[in-house]
């Protein structure tokens, strides 16, 4: 288990509406309170990201994730099978998830990272934005020292979890049976979608 002043300080930054950089099993993420539109806006601004491109929502575990979405039984089976893991699952959002996060879309990407430090942070803070800690169009960071200066300047805390694997998460819409981005575990996910029917 992780703890200590770094994690506590990062949680305080989030509580005050600020941004934190945190490790996942894929790349370093840029986190802010995902349910606070003003905090989400700070993430978009720091990344230079188009507001029409949705940002995913990261949570500590599957049961907490299901509080923020409406999921079918098939979708619930999928998330319990693949999460925590390097997968972003697109699900119908509940009203508590702000338009700022989803670009006004009715579906939101859910992420439960397979990384102890990330999940401990998420357990302390509640849902965080789950987007890579880089300026849009630049390489994702796999080490704290690789984080773009603009992101470094915008973040109130950076949690060091060592070097990460670097492969992007696979983005999947289970309801539609579609993989939107092939990343880690994509073959196994594709096989699941083909072999599991409604």
How far are the Cα atoms of 23, 58, 89, 164 from residue 131, in angstroms, in the given order? 11, 9, 14, 15
Q: Is 5 left (phi over 0), alpha (psi -120 to 50) or beta?
A: alpha
Asked if the model's pLDDT at residue 1 lies above 50, the reply is: no
Reduced to 3 states, what is the DSSP secondary structure of residue 41?
Answer: helix
Asked if the model's pLDDT at residue 28 lies above 90, the reply is: yes
Please state the pTM of the whole predicted model. 0.94
Tell me which residue has tokens 């978009």: 44
CATH number for region 4-195: 3.90.870.10
Residue 5, pLDDT score: 60
Asked if the model's pLDDT at residue 189 lies above 50, the reply is: yes
**Cα–Cα distance for residue pair 123/100, rounded to 1 Å:** 22
For the chain, the residue count is: 198
Closest CA to 143 of 121, 111, 165: 165
Residue 198, pLDDT score: 52
């Amino acid at each position: 288990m992780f703890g200590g002043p770094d994690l506590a300080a990062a949680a305080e930054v989030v509580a005050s509406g600020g941004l934190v950089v945190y490790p996942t099993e894929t790349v370093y993420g840029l986190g802010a309170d995902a349910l606070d539109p003003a905090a989400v806006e700070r993430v978009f601004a720091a990344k230079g990201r188009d507001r029409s491109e949705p940002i995913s929502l990261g949570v500590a575990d599957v049961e907490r994730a299901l509080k923020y979405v409406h999921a079918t039984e098939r979708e619930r089976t999928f998330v319990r099978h693949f999460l925590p893991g390097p997968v972003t699952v697109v699900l119908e959002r509940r009203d508590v998830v702000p338009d700022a996060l989803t670009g006004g879309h009715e579906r939101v990407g859910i992420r439960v990272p397979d990384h102890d430090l990330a999940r401990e942070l998420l357990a302390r803070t509640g849902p965080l934005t789950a987007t890579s800690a880089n300026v849009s169009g630049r390489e994702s960071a796999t080490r704290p020292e690789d984080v773009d200066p603009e992101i470094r300047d915008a973040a109130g805390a950076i949690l060091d979890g060592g070097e990460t694997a670097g492969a992007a998460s696979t983005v999947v819409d289970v309801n539609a049976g579609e993989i939107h981005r092939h990343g880690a575990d994509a073959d196994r996910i594709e096989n699941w979608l083909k072999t599991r029917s409604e």
